[in-house]
Amino acid sequence: MVLYTVPEDTLYGTVERINEIFVEAEKVNFDTVFDALMGFLTFYLWFRLKESTYGKQLRILDEFIAQENHRKYRPLGLELTNPLDTGLRYILIRSL
């Protein structure tokens, strides 16, 4: 059995940033209220024309995970998966 070691500060930094992205995605502000209102008024056609604030944050999350994998986890022989793939239940780190 091979043991992989991820430095504790690296793992905590990654998890903290993922949490920050989700906090930002869930914030209620003018943009999110406007998106919701326009979606309602246009029978959700609005979201075909404009990316929602939540969608932007999910894209940022995808980019962040890809960057973390490239810089930190793949050199260790590991890969971090997007928590959305597991229904936000956990963060999966698997060996390559």
In the chain, where the domains are located: 8-95
Residue 78, φ and ψ in degrees, nearest 5: -125, 165
Collapsed DSSP state (helix, strand, coil) of residue 41: helix
Taking only the tens place, the pLDDT of each residue in 25-80 is: 999 999 999 999 999 999 999 999 999 999 999 999 999 999 999 999 998 888 99
How much is the pTM?
0.83
CB atoms within 10 A of CB 76: 15
1 has a pLDDT exceeding 50: no
pLDDT of residue 86: 81
Taking only the tens place, the pLDDT of each residue in 16-30 is: 999 999 999 999 999
Residue 31, φ and ψ in degrees, nearest 5: -60, -45
With residue 79 as reference, give the H or E element that holds it: strand 78-80
Phi/psi-derived region of residue 67, left when phi > 0, alpha when psi is between -120 and 50, beta in every other case: alpha
